């Protein structure tokens, strides 16, 4: 892989457009779901996980999806380390709304309250080492917070 994460074979993955107009994002038709790289399905090795992500990028993957709850935030940290200064070449998506194991003291299992969203996005940006997310969405609908 080159230092700038230039895909070795971008022709292997067709492109598709998400959204329309000024908000449209062009990505490879195959994305990288980060849930499994930090022990969601059992113990995970960070070095191996970083190698897998780098290989996906070499093969032309341009969409990476993660969530603040994956690996209790370690997932976003790992992805941030791999992307580093090459962030602009990737469409980065993350999710929020699932509190850590045990939930909130008030018993919530999902949190879509505006104050929580602001705190969650700030924490995700810090862990990912970036100043923006291209896509940011609620992991599960919070029945106590109107969608609007």
Distances (CA, A) of 35 to 8, 66, 75: 24, 6, 7
Assess whether 70 carries a catalytic annotation. Answer: yes
Joined together, the tokens standing for residue 57 give 């990028």
Distances (CA, A) of 146 to 54, 111, 112, 142: 39, 11, 9, 8
| CB-CB contact of 7 with 59 (8 Å) | yes
Which of 70, 116, 136, 137 is catalytic? The answer is 70
| CB-CB contact of 133 with 91 (8 Å) | no
Length of the chain: 148
The DSSP 8-state label assigned to residue 99 in this structure reads P
| Enzyme catalytic residues | 70
């Amino acid at each position: 892989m080159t230092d700038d994460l230039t895909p070795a074979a971008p022709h292997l993955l067709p492109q598709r457009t998400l959204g329309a107009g000024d908000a449209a994002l062009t990505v490879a038709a195959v994305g990288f779901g980060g849930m499994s790289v930090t022990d969601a399905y059992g113990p995970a090795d960070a070095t191996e996980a970083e190698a897998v992500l780098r290989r996906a990028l070499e093969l032309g993957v341009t969409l990476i999806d993660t969530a603040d709850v994956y690996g209790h935030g370690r997932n976003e940290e790992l992805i941030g380390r791999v992307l580093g200064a090459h962030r602009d070449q990737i469409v980065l998506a993350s999710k929020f709304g699932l509190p850590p194991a045990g939930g909130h003291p008030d018993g919530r299992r999902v949190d879509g309250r505006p104050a929580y969203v602001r705190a969650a996005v700030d924490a995700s940006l810090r862990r990912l080492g970036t100043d923006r997310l291209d896509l940011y969405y609620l992991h599960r609908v919070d029945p106590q917070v109107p969608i609007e």
